[in-house]
Structure formats: structure tokens, C-alpha cells
Amino acid sequence: MAGASLLALLDDIASVLDDVATMTKVAATKTAGVLGDDLALNAQQVADVRAEREWPVVWAVAMGSLKNKLILVPAALLISAFMPWIVMPLLMLGGLYLCFEGVEKLAHRWLPHEDTNAAAEKTATASAAPDLAAFEAEKIKGAIRTDFVLSAEIIVIALGTVAGHPFITRLIVLAGIGLLMTAGVYGLVAAIVKMDDAGLHLQRRSSALLQTLGKGLLLAAPRLMKTLAVVGTAAMFMVGGGILTHGLPFLHHGIAALTGGAGLFSGIAALALNIAVGIVAGLAALLLVRIANKLRGAIGK
């Protein structure tokens, strides 16, 4: 009897592990698209950090990402159990935040935001340690905030794949996806930001082939970072706009009707429309924030 019970227990464990492996594979496939956006955004977020501080900054953001998931996984399990209706509104807020942050980046780059003297003063004091430390801390905070929204989307997508499974399967799959995505994203980000250092190291080698490879890495590194900066900003609108259009049926169906079915052209057109929705939503959010700030300033006076 005891032997039969042990065999039954082992069979149950094997069944759960099989379910976990299958569901983790499905969830990883479905969240792969968000992984690309997460990579572009986070590589962009740690750009402009001093070379010797790149890995510490990436590590700090990775630890922040793990803390985000320690919050998000239990929250997702609780919400799915007791308040499933609130998932979409929370995702919509996260999507709107991404759009707002994307527009704010563009506004900061293209619109006047501080007078020339203030900018000159800021540049002149940029070498001061406290300013560099504050700049680094702000970079880390911004990257962790952005990661929170993207991690929330990853967790919710993963949750959707295991919604009908037992609690233990949902817990293991969500935790596993969180760890896999964090290791994958920040491992690649760390490799990208150290491309130039790898290039310098190879250039010092005696082999002509390794020197050529090192030169190629040195030439590619700044171009890749610039490309990722552009892609990262576009990804904010793409992900944020996509969340908003999926959460608003009239927009979702309208885009589907305009793009007309499957195919490469339809996919590109839908992507462009999602980005357009993200830009418009971000502009509206930025306008509201600036109006609110002015009203608060007027009341304060």
C-alpha cells in the first residue's frame, strides 16, 4: 500500500512537471516579442553611463527587475483569483505610461526644456561626482520603472497561457518565465554595452584576424547603441499603443478592418497604426501632465 501511494505521488509530480515544462515553453514563445522590446528599451536606458560603471548599472537594473517580478508574480496570482477584471485596466495604465515616457523623451530631445545658460552650467558640472552619481541613479530608476510595465505585460501574457491549470503549475511557470526573461534580457544588455571593451581587448591581440574583429566591434558598438536608442523609443509606442488598442475594442477592430487580415503588409500596417496610437496617447498624457503641473504651480503661488 505504501509503495503504491509513493508511486502515485511520483506520478502526480511527473505530471505536474510535464505540464510546467509544456506551459513554460508556450509562455516563452508568446512573450518572445515583448522580450525584444524589453531588450531594446533597457539597452537604451543604460546608454551614456561611464564605461567602468556599465556592468554595475546593468546589475542594479537586473536586481530591480527581479524585485519587480517578486511583486508582480504574487499580485498576478491574487488578481487572477479574486479580481480578474482589473488586469486590463492596470495594463492600460502601464501602456499609457510607456507612451507618455516615449513622448517625453522626444520632447526632451527636440523641444526647448531649459534655457541655454542652465544647459551650459549643467554640462560644465557634469564631471562632478555627485552629479554623475545622481545621473546614474536616475538612469537606474528610469530603467526599473520601464521594466515594471514590460514585466507586467510578460507576466500577464504568461498567466493567460496557464489560466486553467492548478495553482502550483501557474506559480512555477510564472516564476520560471520571470527568471528566464530577466536573465535573458540583462545578459544580452550586459554583452551589448561591453562590445566596445571587447573590441579594444581584441585589437591588442597579435592575431590580424582578432584585430580586424576587434575593429569591427568598435565600429559597430556606437552604431548599435544609437540604433537601440531609436528602436527603444519606437518600442515604447509599439508596446504601449498595442496595449491601448487591444484594451479598446473600437480601436482594435478598426485597425483590423483597415489592415485587412493576415500577411506581411497587414502586420506592418497594424504595427504602424499601433505606434501612431501610442504617439497620440503619449502626447495627450504629456499635455495633461504639463497642464496639471502649471495649475499646481499657480495654486502654490
**pLDDT for res 199:** 85
**pLDDT for res 107:** 80
Residue 301 or 78, more confident: 78
Q: How far is residue 14's CA from residue 83's CA, in Å, rounded to a whole number?
A: 31
Residue 290 or 40, more confident: 290
**pLDDT for res 34:** 55
pLDDT one-digit tens code per residue, 28-79? 544 444 555 566 666 666 666 666 777 788 888 889 989 998 998 888 888 8
Share of the chain above pLDDT 70, in %: 72
pLDDT one-digit tens code per residue, 172-187? 888 888 888 888 888 8
- pTM for the complete prediction? 0.65
Question: What is the SS3 assignment for 171-225?
Answer: HHHHHHHHHHHHHHHHHHHHHHHCHHHHHHHHHCCCCHHHHHHHHHHHHHHHHHH
**pLDDT for res 134:** 80
C-alpha closest to that of 37 among 277, 273, 238, 259 = 238
pLDDT one-digit tens code per residue, 217-263? 888 877 877 777 777 778 778 878 888 888 888 887 788 787 776 66
- pLDDT over threshold 80, residue 133: no
3-state SS, residue 164: coil
Based on its alpha-carbon atoms, the radius of gyration of the chain, rounded to whole angstroms, reads: 23
- pLDDT over threshold 60, residue 87: yes
**pLDDT for res 49:** 66
- pLDDT over threshold 50, residue 6: no
Q: What is the mean pLDDT of the chain?
A: 74
Residue ranges covered by each domain of the chain: 14-300
Confidence of residue 147 (pLDDT cuts 50, 70, 90): confident
